[in-house]
Amino acid sequence: MIKLKSALAGALIAVLAISCGGNGDEGRQDRRDRVDILGAGATFPAPLITAMADEYRDLTRNRVTVNYQSIGSGGGIRQFIEQTVMFGMTEAFLSEEVMSNVEQATGGRAFNLPITVADVVVTYNIPGVGSGLVFDGALIVDIFMGDITRWNHPRIAELNPGKDLPNLPITVVHRSDGSGTTNVFTSFLSRVSDRWRNRVGYATSVNWPTGIGGNGNEGVAGAVQNTPGAIGYNSFAYALLNNMAYGSVINSAGNVIQPSFEATTEAANIELPDDTRILFTNTPAEYGYPIAGFAWMLVYENLDANRAIRTRREAEELVRFLAWSIVEGQELSEMLGFARLPEAAVEKSQQMIRQIKWENEFIGAEVLDGLAAAGSPNQ
Amino acid sequence: MKTLVQRNIRDRIMESLLVLSTIVVLLPLVIIIVHVIVNGISALNWDFFTQELGSPSRALQGRPTGLVHTILGTLVVDSMALIMAIPIGMGAGIMLSEFPDHKLNPTIRIMNDTLNGMPAILKGLLAFVLIVKPMGTFSGLAGAVALAFVMIPILARTTESALMSIPWSIREAGLAIGLPRWRVVLSTVMPAARFGLVTGTLIAFARAAGEAAPLLFTSFGNNYLPNHWLGMILGPADTLPQRLYSLAISPYTHWHSMGWAAAIVLLVFVILCFGTARYLTRQKH
């Protein structure tokens, strides 16, 4: 027994020694400078934010490590409120109720900082028909309501002259789990159709009138790809990654918009409120893709009120990372299948970052001014 | 009256039936191990043991990525859980076995069974409220506490039955030479029950090592090695079962094979623990 225990203790000590001595080439002072930043939330922007974290770590020479765990938008908001993470991430902005609760608890506001634009495409599997089938809002509503049940329906043919559409039954596929993608998609349907708004509405999960459920983007994609005649919805990045056929959508200005990063960015190029809490599906932007919405990072105005942040240094490095992610970090977007933030959103975010405080000092403004002076986020 | 030949045949039939049922019992285990190895072996390379996971784009672009932080995190969290659970779990087991008349025992037994039957995710929730909320951050420590809750009832049970299997005469011998009762337990009963105690500890450990649910909102997960001393204890830590799950549900094929490789490591880890402990307990005889 004693031998076993000492062996276990020895193993633990060895493990600790290894885990702490991982990067032995750095100096002692250097190590004290290091900061771990913890964020969690939405799954959709996770590939982007983790790639940013990789990049930022290299940029700061391992000084700042951003650990982002994708636990879903709901979880992101929850842990943000519980103050167990330094920043949250969500595809649905904070409700008035949550905002006022935060104000009561921390004496400051909660900021919703756009980090990227989520775009949802209609994916389908029709043998012999590739990407580019044209849909309008009313048609998508009719299909997802279960009113149009065959691909050779005159309404579809009308929008797609010259396309040879088979007499194939339509199988609707939707998400079975709560999802920001569903929120964006159903909010678009609610905006184009009163019938949809009254009967189904929009949320991270809704009562679908018809169709089969798939768990996650991959569940929907799998069902669509394995079922001839299936139609579903996926995030654009996911459809690209998996070579799925996706449709173009006619927007509110009457233009046929093929999904693209530019069209998605364009969708957000509208009059934004100062707190950027706006849903712009069915965007009024003339050449904007209509099924798109922001994904936001969540931070407190008073960072010292967030129990997850213990020191001013952590707060400063968090702010520095936020400022970097909405400007330089956006360079990674296209490569990873994400649309860039429009200028207007970056400006609004920077205005909010300026108001971030630590013990009543405006560290957000300090960091931004420091960056502007240095021209680079790092030394 | 049956002939010797008949009886021999009957013996053979029974024997082969027993062998067959043993195979049937072992078959699922073999299938699992083979399936895991076939799917994961291709992702097991030097990078897997030396690099951090980072973002999925690392895997997509073929840059080095691995699970060194996950493997270390598992060792740290699981060992801490064991260190916390052994005194409490074994203590309860000793109490139940050696002081059978104590008036607290019926309560302990009921509470222990309840704890054992409680879903593991609730234990995670308990650790979230007890450790994560007051600390203001997810931590390996919280994960260890959650896993300790998984281990304690199993340890109490197995300790009790291991000690009960030791004949009463051994205790009487100890008492006869004037040892106090605690000394009898510590110096005669427990060494005699050594094998059972270690086996029980291992069952508890192996059970906890495979749990992902209690870790979801306690140790939380990390894509990198922490930057600070004790970072795995006081900050979020990655563990194999939880990382395995998140790799498996990801949309990236490379991450899927890394998930299988993580399963191989977890299997080998558990098997190694069993092997080592068996070796240590057998040495003296």
Same domain, B90 and B220: yes
Confidence check: pLDDT of B232 > 60: yes
Same domain, B14 and B117: no
Give the span between the Cα atoms of A335 and A326, in whole angstroms. Answer: 16
Same domain, B26 and B61: no
The interaxial angle of helices B68-98 and B105-117, nearest 10 deg, is: 150
Q: Does the CB of A2 have a partner CB in chain B at under 8 Å?
A: no
Give the span between the Cα atoms of B262 and B274, in whole angstroms. Answer: 19
Give the span between the Cα atoms of B233 and A98, in whole angstroms. Answer: 32
Same domain, B123 and B26: no
> Which residues of chain A fall below pLDDT 70?
1-32, 375-379
B147-201: pLDDT as tens digits: 999 999 999 999 999 999 999 999 999 999 999 999 999 999 999 999 899 989 9
Q: B132: domain CATH number?
A: 1.10.3720.10
Q: Does the CB of A236 have a partner CB in chain B at under 8 Å?
A: no
pLDDT at B277: 79
Same domain, B18 and B34: yes
pLDDT at A270: 87
- The encoded tokens of residue A195 equal 């019938």
**Strand order, beta sheet including A256-257:** A134-136, A248-250, A256-257
B276–A38 CB contact, under 8 Å: no
Task: Please report which residue ranges of B51-119 form alpha helices under DSSP H.
Answer: 56-60, 68-98, 105-117
Same domain, B204 and B261: yes
Q: Which ipTM value was assigned to this complex?
A: 0.86
User: Which sign, positive or negative, has the C-alpha torsion A24, A30, A33, A38?
Assistant: negative
pLDDT at A29: 54
Same domain, B12 and B85: no
Same domain, B245 and B113: yes
B82-99: pLDDT as tens digits: 999 999 999 999 999 999
Domain of B26, in residue numbers: 2-43
Nearest by CB to B72, from A5, A18, A307: name it: A18
pTM for the structure as a whole? 0.85
The interaxial angle of helices B105-117 and B140-164, nearest 10 deg, is: 130
In degrees rounded to 5, what are phi and psi of residue B57? -65, -25
Radius of gyration of chain A (CA): 23
CA-to-CA dists, residue B161 to A167, B93, B200, B202, angstroms = 69, 8, 9, 15
Same domain, B33 and B80: no
Q: Which residues of A touch B236 (CB under 8 A)?
A: 38, 67, 69
Query: Domain count of chain B?
Result: 2
Confidence check: pLDDT of B77 > 90: yes
- Strand (E) or helix (H) holding A213: strand A212-214
Task: Label residue B284 by pLDDT band (50, 70, 90).
Answer: low
Mean pLDDT, residues B62-91 taken together: 94
Same domain, B134 and B51: yes
Residues of chain A numbered 302-341 and touching chain B (CB < 8 Å): 307-308, 310, 332, 335-336
Task: Please report which residue ranges of chain A form alpha helices under DSSP H.
Answer: 2-20, 28-32, 46-59, 73-82, 96-106, 137-145, 154-159, 180-192, 194-199, 216-226, 236-241, 261-267, 312-326, 333-336, 343-354, 363-374
Question: In whole numbers, what is the pLDDT of chain B averaged over residues?
Answer: 91
- The encoded tokens of residue B18 equal 């027993």
Confidence check: pLDDT of B274 > 90: no
Chain B: give the shortest CA distance to residue A356, in Å: 20
Same domain, B164 and B38: no
**Secondary structure (3-state) at A17:** helix
Give the span between the Cα atoms of B155 and A192, in whole angstroms. Answer: 60
Find out whether B139 and B226 touch, Cβ atoms under 8 Å: no
Same domain, B6 and B92: no
